[in-house]
Amino acid sequence: MTQPDNRHITLIGAGLAGAVLATLLVRRGWRVDVYEKRGDPRVQGYGGGRSINLALAERGRHALRLAGADEAVMQHAVMMRGRMVHFLDGRTDLQRYGRDDSEVIWSVHRGELNVILLDIAERAGAKLHFDRGLSGVDFDARTARFTDPRDGSTHEARFESLVGADGAGSSLRAAMSAHVELGERTEFLGHSYKELEIPPAADGSFSIEPNALHIWPRGRYMCIALPNDERTFTVTLFLPNEGDPSFATVRNGEDARALFERDFADAVPLIPALEEDFERNPAGLLATLYLDRWHLDGRAVLLGDAAHAMVPFHGQGMNCAFEDCVALAEHLDANPDRAAAFAAFQAERLPNARAIQAMALENYLEMRDRVDDDDYLLQRALERTLAQRHPERFMPRYSMVTFQRMPYATAYERGRQQRELLIDLTRGHTSLDTLDWSAVDHAVRERLTLLPMDA
């Protein structure tokens, strides 16, 4: 009888998480095979079809450092210092994310990032198999079936364990759910998105401030724009699916132009192909995926979007997926029993995934509806002051999520306590000048414990 191979693992999906996990495991001495449904993006170009650029933050960068990929990725990243809010009357206001340029986020091109990560995984020694979409699993015989989308041919491979890094529509998740109750439910946001492009200016430079994430908040809907290193911006229009305006009323390029001329007027001259982009690019649905269980004993486990897809409003889906990769690699190394390793991984990560999913949903309301409210701006001003006066106790939730690596669940809970404090302290005030600072300091010390900081 053949012995189980204790240092071999099979990954499904060579997207962002799959490539990082492969590298982390190979660097720890594992033999890794990765099966990817699409062709090799390094040969045929990236056909991702969704969100062209992504915000990379500290959690993601930490994983990239461990995978030896941070330096290569950062060569293509564009710094974003804060939100550049575009008001309806054309005024703009830069709201910094952190204290200084050590607390920023980075815009990276999804396709470029994927290519860099695949190169690094392959160089490290991972075996990558493209044009191999998982199409069936026999968990008893431990064989997986893959279909080549080019000719429909099928291929089988034996596995010890499968790791599903195959994204929100995970085929592995579907195969697992025939064997174990995963408690799967998907909550649709009722809003979708569409991408448009701001090309470089005539002289080849960025046509608006490059080092910012631009936001046009308009109540029930919004636009954002992130810079790309080729001096373009990817604009994402988020609209409800129903109502007015919505994707039900804004149906073609002409409708889109009318909406932009009314609500995003300063963006209109920046997007010359507005009608074409709107009609060519598909509208993407936004949803949160909840599972109660992420693994099938020691035979299969899910991570990243396959386990916990979230709405994109905290810019953390990829960052969280990368953090999953580090955690799974650590649990696999610490625990030779895979079922125990997968269970420990789930126990650590599931509550944190739930927390960032909730924060991502909350952030949508904040981004589209709050960033220009007076009470919100006063609370933010107090938040900044308290972060300076009490750095050991008070940190804006955005910073805890984005610049620190404390568990998401901790950031969520502390954020809740801080929000209550900010509401209480600013109640009845329209400016910070009227606050009683000794009472404020006392309340902070009384109500907030010391922050857990990264080592």
Site for ligand FAD, rule CB under 6 A: 12-18, 35-38, 50-51, 54-55, 133-134, 165-167, 171, 193, 236, 284, 304-306, 312, 315-319, 321
- Considering beta carbons, is residue 319 or 399 the nearer one to ligand FAD? 319
Collect all residues with Cβ–Cβ distance below 8 Å to 425 and sequence separation of at least 6: 382, 435, 440, 443
Dihedrals phi, psi of 399, to nearest 5 degrees:
-70, -40
For residue 28, the minimal CB distance to ligand FAD (Å) is 19
Nearer to ligand FAD, 105 or 267 (CB): 105
Tell the smallest beta-carbon distance from residue 319 to ligand FAD (Å).
4
Which amino acid makes up residue 362? Answer: E
CB closer to ligand FAD, 121 vs 134: 134
What is the dihedral sign for C-alpha 302, 193, 396, 57?
Answer: positive
Q: Where are the beta strands (DSSP E) in 57-206?
A: 78-80, 82-86, 92-96, 105-109, 127-129, 133-138, 143-147, 154-158, 162-164, 185-198
Given the complex with ligand FAD, which of 345 and 394 has the nearer CB atom?
345
Nearest residue (CB) to ligand FAD, 83 versus 382: 83
Shortest distance (Å) from residue 233 CB to ligand FAD? 13
Residue 148 or 160 having the CB closest to ligand FAD: 148
Tokens of 5: 């191979």
Residue whose C-beta lies closest to ligand FAD: 15
| Min CB(302)–ligand FAD separation in Å | 9
Rounded CA gap, 56 and 322, in Å? 10
Contacts of 233 (CB under 8 A, 6+ apart): 197, 198, 206, 207, 208, 214, 225, 226, 227, 270
Residue 5: CB minimum distance to ligand FAD, A: 21
Give residues with Cβ within 8 angstroms of 438, minimum separation 6: none
Q: What's the min distance (Å) between Cβ of 320 and ligand FAD?
A: 7
- Least CB distance to ligand FAD at residue 300 (A): 13
Distances (CA, A) of 68 to 23, 24, 62, 120, 124: 8, 9, 10, 8, 10
**Other CB atoms closer than 10 Å to residue 98's CB: what's the count?**
17
